[in-house]
Amino acid sequence: MTLVLIWSACSKSKSSNNNNSNPNMTLMTQAVWKYDTSGFDFTGDGKIDYPDTIVQPCFKDNTYQFKMDSTVIVDEGATKCDSTAPQTATYSWTISNSNPPILKTNADSVLTGGVTVLVLNSTQLEVYKDTTILGISLRYILSLKH
């Protein structure tokens, strides 16, 4: 729930960071990504145990176009949560070549610290962030697809 909200919100800026030699760049930039599913993994097995049922439709239709120049264009889609918000916003992003890869973007302070890539292939991008809510440690998973 919070990761999806965080993914789409916040400040706009541009940055250039040459990651062209990183093999993850090709997978990230080959097509536009869109929301698939999200939820909580209570067991740490990388599977959603409890789907996030409060994600608003205005976030589910957003798209994310990661570009080779290390910018990502977020499009609000047909349903905007804030009618006064711009249709698109541009942020900077990076993905590490480590195992597992870490995806970072300046779209929000949580994402600036990075999310861990669980799955990255030609059709699916799944990331997670470990967090604590009300004293309970849990993992939030966000899945995007082409």
Residue 105 domain boundaries? 2-136
Could you tell me if residue 125 is inside a domain?
yes
pTM: 0.83
Q: Which of 66, 58, 57, 53 is nearest to 127 (CA)?
A: 66
Residue at 18 is within a domain: yes
User: Which of helix, strand or coil describes residue 26?
Assistant: helix
The total number of structural domains in the chain stands at: 1
For 45-62, how does the pLDDT look when each residue is reduced to its tens digit (9 = 90+)? 999 999 999 999 999 999
Q: Is residue 144 part of a domain?
A: no
CB of 128 closer than 8 Å to CB of 120? no
On the CB side of 143, how many CA atoms lie within 13 Å of its CA? 16
pLDDT average, residue stretch 20-39? 92
Separation of alpha carbons 108 and 113, rounded Å: 9
Tell me, yes or no, whether 141 lies in a domain: no
* Residue 146 included in any domain: no
The two structure tokens encoding residue 50: 């409890």
pLDDT digits (tens, 9 = 90+) for 101-143: 999 998 877 788 899 999 999 999 999 999 888 998 889 999 9
Q: How confident is the model at residue 16 (pLDDT cuts 50, 70, 90)?
A: very low
